[in-house]
A and B are shown apart, each in its own frame.
Chain A
Amino acid sequence: MAPTTLPSPFLDPGAYSASNSLGIIQLRRDHLIPAVLSSSADSEYAEGKVENTRFGSFPHSTLLDQPWGTQILASIVDTGSRGKSKKRKRGTNDEGEEAPATDLKVEHVRKDTVKTAAAASSGFAHLVPPSPETWTLCLPHRTQVVYTPDYSYILQRLRVRPGDHIIEAGAGSGSFTHAAVRAVFNGYTSPGAFADGAETASAENGTVASKKRRRKHGGVYSYEFHAPRAKQLGIEIEEHGLGPVVTITNRDVYEDGFCLQNKDEEQIAPNADAIFLDLPAPWLALKHLTRSPPSPAVLKAVAAASDPSTPNAESSVSTSPQPPKPFHTALNPKGPVRICTFSPCIEQVTKTVSAMRSLGWIEIDMVEIMAKRLEVRRERIGLQEEGLRGANPSAATVFEAVQRLRDVEGRAKVFHGLQKEKQSEIMKRAEAKKRGEKVPAAKGEEGEGKNTVKVDGLPPSKHDRLERAKRDLEKRELFKEGRLVHRTEPELKTHTSYLVFAVLPREWTKEDEERAAKKWK
Chain B
Amino acid sequence: MHSFIRPNTHVALRLPSGVLKVLEIIPNTTINIGKFGTFPANLLLGRPYYLTYEVYDKDDGKSEPELRVVSAAELHAEALGSDHVAPAETKAESAESGAVAEFDIVGENGEIIMRSNRMTVDDPSRQTLSMDEIEELKKAGTGSGKEIIARLMASHLAIDEKTSFSLAKYTLRKSRKYLKRFTALPMDIGILTAHITEKEAYKIMELREETIGLICSWANIHCADVSRIMMAEDGISQIGGGRWLVVDDTGGLVTAALAEKMGLLYDSEEEEEDENEEEDEDEVQEEKDEVTLEGESLPQFAALEEAERKPSQPTNGISKTAVTSKPIDPSNPVLRPRKPPRPHIAQMSAHTNTLTVLHTNNQPNLSSLKYFSFDPGAPSPTHPLYTHLKSVSWLQLIYPTEDPSYIEPESLSEETLAAMKSSKRGNYYKKRRRWERTARVVDETRRGGYDGLVVASVMDPKTIMKELVPLVRGGGRIVVYHPNAEPLVELCDLYSKERRTAFTERQLELAQNQSSKVKLEAEEEDGNGLWDEYDDEDFPVNPTLLLAPTLQTSRARHWQVLPGRTHPMMTSHGGAEGYLFTATRVLPAEGRVEARGRFRGKKRKIGTGSAAVST
Contacts and interface: CB of A to CB of B under 8 A. Distances in A.
A389 B501 CA distance: 17
Contact of A12 (B76, B213, B240): B240
Contacts of A368: 556-557, 559, 568
B593 A71 contact: yes
A162 B262 CA distance: 7
Contacts of A369: 210, 554-557
A412 interface: no
B84 A304 contact: yes
A153 B584 CA distance: 21
A287 to B, nearest CB: 15
B493 interface: yes
B116 interface: no
Contact of A371 (B553, B558, B559): B553
A69 B474 contact: yes
Nearest to A478: B498
A123 B217 contact: no
Given A71-B587, A503-B50, A376 B555 contact: no
Contact of B222 (A11, A55, A364): A11
B72 A479 contact: no
Interface stretch (B136-144, B317-325, B404-412, B607-615): B607-615
A301 B209 CA distance: 34
Nearest to A369: B556
Contact of B47 (A129, A335, A508): A508
A149 B261 CA distance: 17
B473 A15 contact: yes
Contact of B72 (A14, A133, A361, A484): A361
Contacts of B71: 360
> Chain B's interface: helix, strand, loop or mixed, by majority?
mixed
B134 interface: no
Contacts of A376: 489, 492-493, 496, 551, 615
Interface residues of B, number: 116
Nearest to B604: A122
A185 B593 CA distance: 39
Interface stretch (B90-98, B226-234, B424-432): B226-234
A353 interface: yes
B502 A477 contact: yes
A336 B559 contact: no
A405 B84 CA distance: 75
A334 interface: yes
> Chain A's interface: helix, strand, loop or mixed, by majority?
mixed
Given A336-B2, A353-B561, A357-B80, A484 B489 contact: yes
Contacts of A372: 552-554
A88 B299 CA distance: 56
A126 B224 contact: no
Contacts of B557: 367-370
Task: Give the 4 A-B CB pairs with smallest separation, nearest first.
Answer: A69-B474, A68-B475, A156-B213, A162-B263
Interface of A: 7, 11-15, 26-29, 54-56, 67-74, 120-129, 131-133, 148-149, 151-157, 159, 161-163, 179, 182-183, 185-188, 212-216, 218, 301, 304-305, 334-336, 346, 349-350, 353-354, 357-358, 360-378, 389, 477-480, 484-486, 498, 500, 503, 505-506, 508, 513, 515-516, 519-521
Given A126-B547, A519-B46, 9 more contacts: A11-B224, A12-B240, A54-B597, A149-B554, A350-B566, A357-B72, A357-B80, A367-B559, A370-B555
7 contacts: A26-B613, A121-B594, A123-B595, A148-B218, A215-B271, A350-B561, A367-B557
